[in-house]
Amino acid sequence: FILDPNNFNTLLAGGSNLWRSVNVKAATPAWSIIKPGIPSTSYINALAVAPGNSDIIWVGYNSGAVYFTTNGTSATPTWFQSGSGTLPGRSCDSLTVDPNNFNNVYACFGGYSSGNVYRTTSFGATWSNIGAALANAPANSLVIAPFNSSYLYVGMNVGVFASADGGATWSSGNLGSANVAVD
C-alpha cells in the first residue's frame, strides 16, 4: 500500500486487485476497486503515484507484469500493460516515477540474475536494462535525487549502488564492506 504523495487522504492498496480509498482518515474509510486482477492470478507487488500528478499510477506484479494509467483519479481508470516481452518475467519489486519528468519510470526486479533495473524514458513505450553492470541479485528499491534526476540509488540484496549518470555506470555506495539487503 502507498499514500498518494499529492493527496494524503488517498491510500492505494494492492492485492489481487488495486483498491483506493479517498477518505482514508475517516472513521470508516470507503474503498473501491480501481484495477481488477490480471488473468495470471498474480498479486500486486509494487505501486507508484507520480509526484505532482495523482492521475499517473504504475502497478507492478509478482509475475513481472507492469501496468499504468493516466486517469487514476477517475472512478474507473483505463489501464495499459507496459513492457510485455521486454521486462523480465520476475517479480516487480519496486516502481519509481521521476519527480522531474513523468515519462521516466524505473522498475526493479527480483531474482539472482543479471538485469534487475529497467528504465523507460517514453512513458512505458520502450524499456532499457540499466542494471546489467549491477550485481546479480534482487533490486529492491530505487531512489532518485530530487535535485538531479541523473543521481540514482538502488537498494539491492547485496547493499546500495549509486549512479551519477542516470544508470550508465554504477558504483558501490556501501560503507566499508556492508553486504546487507537494502529495501
Confidence band for 174, pLDDT divided at 50, 70 and 90? low
Return mean pLDDT, the chain: 94
Bridging pattern class, strands 92-97 and 53-61: unpaired
Nearest to 87 by CA among 71, 72, 106, 74: 106
The pLDDT of residue 123 is 93
- What sign for the dihedral angle of Cα 174, 154, 145, 47? negative
Query: Mapping DSSP to helix (H, G, I), strand (E, B) and coil, where does residue 94 land?
Result: strand
Cβ-Cβ contacts under 8 Å for 177 (sequence gap 6 or more):
none
Q: What is the pTM of this model?
A: 0.94
Is 35's pLDDT higher than 90?
Answer: yes
Helix (H), strand (E) counts: the chain:
0, 16
Confidence band for 61, pLDDT divided at 50, 70 and 90? very high
Q: Tell me what the mean pLDDT of segment 111-120 comes to.
A: 95
